Structures are given as structure tokens and as C-alpha cells.
């Protein structure tokens, strides 16, 4: 018999090879909680177990895991095996604590045996500051801003790359867009507002203003011309903008992501604009890394055209983007994790 899904104050989940107790209390009356709102709050609190939590809502699809759910005086234990769901026991009142303690060790032992549920294959990767930065490039000028790090190229008058950590807290805020400005911390000749005027190219943010609404200084620094490349105006407001919004959505979903983006120069000869000859890229790249739960990464390369068609947007592995750009992304990751995330790209894993 399948035990009805109940709202959980305690959910035991398998992550990697460890057992995690996820404690949550949502209402004084455990028998009158709203199931959907409970799951939404659980997902918000523990985004790394999002797939696993979601699977509880369609419990018939669960296989090879053990779930303990408790609500107040009621305690349900389910063992989901390869042929379906079986009710082990239900106890009430004083029996609850006694029965739980009597079976606790056996439950934990069984939990550790199973590793096929989505959360079970995930692993937390702890990294230090600056994991978003690619490996150094010869001749680059590296500037540290409040939100982002930029590798600046004196020859193109554009960034090689811009890298930042985007957290859920940084995806919105009260601060508005400001004016673009020339960056005094790089040598002349450098990009100026005059270079873009009348050029037919828009000033395309690499680290977007939308990622910097949380702080006035961060917003202002996002308008430095070292964070800008000549970009097709329709691309800027279209596909490129939608990619930026996806990154903010992922940051809210997973709590944080690491982003690197920049121009791609494919031709031997390039268009240049203005008296300072700011070089126009033929394309742009963006790579995104998530280390919450099972590590994953995705790469995007988009042509610097109107960008309105699917053929202009390509999802890539990080290995592919590295071959196109020549950059080494996320070099501070443990080697085994770096190899795995760089070799695989599946946009469905992010949706």
C-alpha cells in the first residue's frame, strides 16, 4: 500500500554518501498544512535537493531510496524499492519517538545503501574565493571590481573575459542604471564614449546591470567601458538579455552560480570603431558553473548579429568553449570535478 504523501517537518535525504536531516516547521497544526506551500518552502530552503524534493510529489516515480517523513504526532516511513512503494509502519503519540529510536540505525543503514535517486549522486564541492576566474593570459590587465573581475586587453580595448559569482541575493535590488564611463585604470588608448557614438554598435555589458541592482557601487562599476564590448543592438536586447535572465533564474534556483563571459574573435581581420579603434567581436561566449548539488556547467556561444534565430545560439560544453576562446575555465576546481563538468552540457539539467 502506498502511504499518502504528508508534509514533512523532518526529511531525511541522501546526498553523496551522507545522510542529511532537513528540519523544517511551518505551522502550529501539523495536520492542516498546505502540501504545495510546504514543498515550495522546502525547495527554497534546500535548492540542492530540488529534484529529490520534487520527486516526492510524484512518489510512484521514486525508486531505490528510503524516505522518512514526520508531521507532529504522526510518523510515516516509506521504503521505495525497485517494484514500488511499501508501507513499513505508522505510529502515533508516544509511540512515535519510541518507534523512531528503535528503527533509526536501521533506517540510516538502508539510506546509505541507495545512491540512485537524483540527490544521491550529487556532491557538494567546496571551493575558495575566485573560483570563477579563468587561468591567467599573457599581457592581460586584471582589474578587481566590487562584483566582477575583468581581464582587459590593451589591443582590442575590450575585456578578454569578465568573471563573477552571482548569488540569489544579487539578482534584484533597488538601484537603477547609470551612465557609461571611461575607465581611468587602464592605459590609453582605451575605449571612450566617443568611440561608440554613431558607430552602429551598442555598448554591450558583459557583467550585466541586472546582476548589480543590489548595490549602488556595483551598479556604477558595471557601466565601466572595461565591462563593455561593441554589440549588435538587437542581440543586446534580445538573445543576450535572455541568457542573462537565465543566469539570474539559476542563481535563484541554486543559490549561486559562477559566470564568465566575453568576446570571441574568429576572423583574422576585424572591424574597429571610433578614433581609438575598439575591436568588434564576431561572437560572444558565456559559461556558467553550478556547484550546488551535483556539479554541472553549460557554455553558450552566440554570433554578434541580430541574434533572433536559434541558429545564432549554440549550447556547448566548456571544453568546446575553451577550444574556441583558448581560455582555461575554472582551473581551481579539483581535477576530477573540472574534467566532468567541462565535458558535459545538457540544458535540460538547468530547466
List the one residue out of 44, 283, 60 whose CA is nearest residue 168.
Answer: 44
Cell triple for residue 316? Answer: 556547448
Report the alpha-carbon distance of residue 235 to residue 242 in Å, rounded.
10
Name the grid cell of 148: 566582477
Q: Which three cell numbers stand for residue 103?
A: 528503527
Measured torsion, CA atoms of residues 55, 59, 60, 66, in degrees rounded to the nearest 10: 90
CA 111 to chain centre: 28
> CB of 152 within 8 A of CB of 226?
yes
What DSSP character marks residue 136?
P
Return the C-alpha torsion angle 47, 52, 56, 59, nearest 10. 160
* CA gap 165, 146 in Å, rounded: 11
Identified catalytic residue from 75, 76, 170, 205: 205
Angle of helix 35-45 relative to helix 50-57, nearest 10 degrees, comes to 170
C-alpha span between 138 and 140 (Å, rounded): 6
Number of Cβ within a 10 Å radius of residue 32: 8
The DSSP code sequence of 221-253 is HTTBGGGEEEE-HHHHHTHHHHHHHHHHHHHHH
Count other Cβ atoms within 10 Å, centred on residue 182. Answer: 16
Q: Is 205 a catalytic residue?
A: yes
C-alpha cell recorded at residue 282: 564576431
How many angstroms separate the first and last alpha carbons of the chain? 33
- What region does 214 belong to: left with phi over 0, alpha with psi -120 to 50, or beta? alpha
As a whole number of angstroms, the distance between CA 30 and CA 166 comes to 36
Residues 242, 313: contact at Cβ < 8 Å?
no
What residues are annotated to the active site? 205
Amino acid at each position: 500500500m502506498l502511504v499518502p504523501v504528508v508534509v514533512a517537518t523532518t526529511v531525511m535525504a541522501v546526498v553523496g554518501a551522507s545522510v542529511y536531516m532537513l528540519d523544517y516547521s511551518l505551522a502550529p497544526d501539523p495536520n492542516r498544512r498546505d502540501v504545495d506551500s510546504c514543498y515550495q518552502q522546502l525547495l527554497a530552503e534546500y535548492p540542492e535537493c530540488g529534484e529529490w524534493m520534487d520527486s516526492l510529489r510524484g512518489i510512484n516515480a521514486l525508486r531505490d531510496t528510503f524516505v522518512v517523513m514526520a508531521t507532529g504526532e504522526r510518523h510515516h516511513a516509506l521504503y521505495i524499492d525497485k517494484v514500488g512503494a511499501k508501507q513499513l509502519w505508522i505510529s502515533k503519540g508516544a509511540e512515535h519517538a519510541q518507534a523512531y529510536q528503535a528503527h533509526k540505525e536501521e533506517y540510516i543503514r538502508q539510506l546509505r545503501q541507495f545512491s540512485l535517486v537524483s540527490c544521491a549522486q550529487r556532491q557538494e564541492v567546496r571551493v575558495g574565493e575566485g573560483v570563477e576566474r579563468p587561468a591567467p593570459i599573457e599581457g592581460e590587465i586584471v582589474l578587481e571590481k566590487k562584483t566582477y573581475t575583468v581581464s582587459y586587453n590593451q589591443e582590442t580595448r575590450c575585456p578578454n573575459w569578465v568573471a563573477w559569482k552571482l548569488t540569489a541575493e544579487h539578482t534584484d535590488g533597488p538601484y537603477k542604471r547609470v551612465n557609461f564611463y571611461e575607465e581611468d585604470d587602464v592605459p590609453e588608448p582605451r575605449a571612450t564614449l566617443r568611440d561608440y557614438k554613431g558607430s552602429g554598435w551598442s555598448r554591450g555589458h558583459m557583467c550585466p546591470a541586472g546582476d548589480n541592482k543590489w548595490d549602488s557601487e556595483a551598479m556604477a562599476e558595471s557601466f565601466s567601458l572595461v565591462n563593455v564590448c561593441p554589440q549588435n543592438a538587437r542581440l543586446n536586447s534580445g538573445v543576450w538579455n535572455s541568457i542573462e535572465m537565465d543566469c539570474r533564474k539559476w542563481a535563484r534556483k541554486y543559490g549561486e552560480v559562477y559566470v564568465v563571459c566575453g568576446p570571441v574573435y574568429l576572423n583574422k581581420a576585424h572591424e574597429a570603431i571610433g578614433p581609438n579603434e575598439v575591436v568588434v567581436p564576431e561572437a560572444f561566449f558565456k559559461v556558467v558553473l553550478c556547484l550546488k548539488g551535483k556539479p554541472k556547467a553549460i557554455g553558450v556561444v552566440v554570433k554578434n548579429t541580430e541574434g533572433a534565430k536559434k541558429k545564432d545560439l549554440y549550447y556547448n560544453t566548456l571544453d568546446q568553449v575553451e577550444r574556441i576562446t583558448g581560455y582555461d575555465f575554472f582551473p581551481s576546481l579539483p581535477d576530477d570535478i573540472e574534467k566532468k563538468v567541462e565535458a558535459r552540457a545538457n540544458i535540460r539539467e538547468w530547466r
